[in-house]
Amino acid sequence: MDFRAYQHVERYGNEGVIGIEAGTCYIFPKIDGTNSQVYRRGDVLYAGSRSRELTLEKDNAGFYTAISKDQAVKGYILAHPEHRLCGEWLVSHSLKTYRQDAWRKFYIFDVCVDKEDGSLEYLPYDVYQPLLEEFGLNYIKPIKIIENGNYELFSKCLEENTFLIQDGKGIGEGVVIKNYNYTNKFGKQLWAKLITSEFRVKQAKETGADVVTSRLLEEDIVDEFVTTALVEKEYAKILNERGGWNSKLIPELLSRVFHALVEEEMWEIVKKFKNPTINFKTLNTFTVSKIKLELPQLF
Using CA atoms, how far apart are residues 254 and 216, in angstroms rounded to an integer? 21
**Domains in the chain with CATH codes:** 10-207 (3.30.470.30), 216-298 (no CATH)
Long-range contacts made by residues 271-274, C-beta under 8 angstroms, separation at least 24? Answer: 272/224, 273/217, 273/220, 273/221
Mean pLDDT of the chain, nearest integer:
90
The separation between the first and the last C-alpha atoms of the chain, rounded to the nearest angstrom, is: 58
Confidence of residue 29 (pLDDT cuts 50, 70, 90): very high
What pLDDT does 201 receive?
47
* pLDDT reading at 200 higher than 80: no
- Residue 203: the pLDDT is 45
In sequence order, what E strands does the chain have?
10-11, 24-30, 34-41, 44-48, 83-89, 106-114, 120-122, 144-147, 174-178, 192-195
In this prediction, residue 41 has a pLDDT band, given cuts at 50, 70 and 90, of very high
State the average pLDDT over residues 11-24: 90
Average pLDDT over residues 175-192: 95
pLDDT in tens, 95-133: 899 999 999 999 999 999 988 777 789 999 999 999 999
CA angle 109, 111, 117 (to 5 degrees): 125
Cα distances from 90 to residues 100, 138, 208, 277, in angstroms, run 11, 11, 23, 35
Q: What is the pLDDT of residue 237?
A: 93
- Mean pLDDT value across residues 277-283: 90
The confidence band for 261, taking pLDDT boundaries of 50, 70 and 90, is: very high
d(CA 261, CA 221): 10
Find the length of the chain.
299
Q: What is the per-residue DSSP string for 200-235?
A: HHHHHHHH---GGGGS-HHHHHHHHHS-HHHHHHHH
User: What pLDDT is attached to residue 147?
Assistant: 97
Q: What is the pTM of this model?
A: 0.72
**What pLDDT does 197 receive?**
63
Q: Is 4 helix (H, G, I), strand (E, B) or coil?
A: coil
User: Which residue did the predictor score with more confidence, 36 or 94?
Assistant: 36
Q: Does the structure show a pLDDT above 70 at 198?
A: no
Percent of the chain with pLDDT over 90: 69
Q: What percent of the chain has pLDDT over 70?
A: 94
The pLDDT tens digits of the residues spanning 70-81 come to 999 999 999 999
- Condensed to tens digits (0 to 9), the pLDDT of residues 201-252 reads 444 444 454 444 446 888 889 989 999 989 999 999 999 999 999 999 999 9
